[in-house]
């Protein structure tokens, strides 16, 4: 989807300059109220990860994790190919909350279509509406099963091999260029962009119990209709 199509569908990012506490406080509040959890790894609350980076009280970095080491999952790849601007919006929202000075989109070298799609999206952004956060840069990460681990990506961006390192320190304390770093996967950030536009209440309209919202899943194997699907949390396989 081009930038103009993206803007026609979702509109520009809302200006919350008049919100109580300012736009940063408003955004963090909506993410917290939404209860958005990461769509990769351990499913940690995104608000908690943002708070951890903020507590470091140093210039931060936001990293979009577009690497899927799991060979049977390609939801983030499809998202970056089809809706790159939604992911970029979410990354810029997090950069605004953290007052980050650097935003990086990390994609595996084998994900050629996703790489090209994000490149085009960033070129379109260069002449588009401004946003109070830095335009992301693209980083190509060597493919590998552990490439999607946040510590692997940080290690690679720091000039080392794309392999995880022992913690502490956590990347939220010392990550890219020894700065506090938020690493969030592409799907998580796409939801941030939607919550920023439509609010936490919108996000809670679907889902189940303590798990509101929807999620992308990859369906493969001996099935009639393989692919990537958006499902409501709590939805039964039989449905």
Q: What is the pLDDT of residues 30-57, one digit of tens each?
A: 999 999 998 877 778 999 999 999 998 8
Residues 60-105 pLDDT 10s: 999 999 998 777 888 999 999 999 999 999 999 999 999 999 999 9
* Residue 88 included in any domain: yes
* Residue 174 included in any domain: yes
Asked if residues 217 and 72 have their Cβ atoms less than 8 Å apart, the reply is no
* Residue 112 included in any domain: yes
Instruction: Tell me how long the chain is.
Output: 239
CA distance linking residue 18 with residue 197, whole number of Å:
15
What's the rounded mean pLDDT across residues 157-178?
A: 88
The per-residue pLDDT of the chain, averaged, comes to 89
pLDDT of residue 20: 63
Residue-range definition of the domain harbouring residue 109 = 3-203
* Residue 227 included in any domain: no
CATH number for position 10: 3.40.50.11540
pLDDT of residue 141: 93
* Residue 236 included in any domain: no
* Residue 213 included in any domain: no
DSSP state of 133: S
Q: Give the chain's domain count.
A: 1
CA distance linking residue 142 with residue 157, whole number of Å:
11
* Residue 194 included in any domain: yes
pLDDT exceeds cutoff 80 at 166: no
Residue 98: which H helix or E strand, with range? helix 84-98
pLDDT category at 235 given cuts 50, 70, 90 is: confident
* Residue 103 included in any domain: yes
CA distance linking residue 46 with residue 28, whole number of Å:
10
Judged by DSSP in three states, 206 sits in coil
Greater model confidence, 140 or 18: 140
CA distance linking residue 173 with residue 158, whole number of Å:
15
């Amino acid at each position: 989807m081009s930038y103009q199509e993206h803007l026609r569908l979702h509109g520009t990012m809302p200006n919350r300059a008049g919100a109580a506490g300012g736009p940063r406080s408003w955004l963090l509040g909506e993410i917290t109220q939404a209860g958005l959890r990461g769509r990769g790894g351990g499913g940690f609350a995104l608000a908690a990860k943002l708070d951890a980076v903020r507590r470091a009280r140093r210039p931060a970095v936001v990293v979009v994790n577009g690497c899927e080491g799991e060979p049977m999952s390609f939801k983030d790849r499809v998202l970056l190919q089809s809706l790159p601007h939604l992911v970029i919006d979410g990354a810029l929202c997090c950069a605004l909350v953290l007052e980050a000075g650097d935003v990086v989109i990390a994609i595996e070298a084998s994900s050629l279509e996703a790489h090209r799609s994000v490149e085009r999206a960033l070129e379109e952004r260069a002449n588009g509406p401004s946003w109070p956060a830095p335009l992301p840069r693209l980083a190509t990460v060597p493919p590998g099963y552990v490439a999607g681990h946040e510590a692997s990506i940080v290690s690679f961006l720091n000039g080392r091999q794309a392999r995880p390192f022992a913690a502490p320190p956590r990347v939220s304390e010392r990550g890219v260029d020894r700065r506090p770093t938020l690493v969030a996967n592409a799907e998580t950030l796409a939801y941030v962009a939607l919550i920023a536009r439509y609010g936490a209440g919108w996000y809670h309209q679907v889902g189940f119990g303590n798990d509101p919202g929807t999620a992308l899943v990859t369906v493969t194997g001996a099935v009639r209709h393989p692919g990537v699907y958006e499902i409501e949390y709590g939805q039964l396989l039989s449905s």
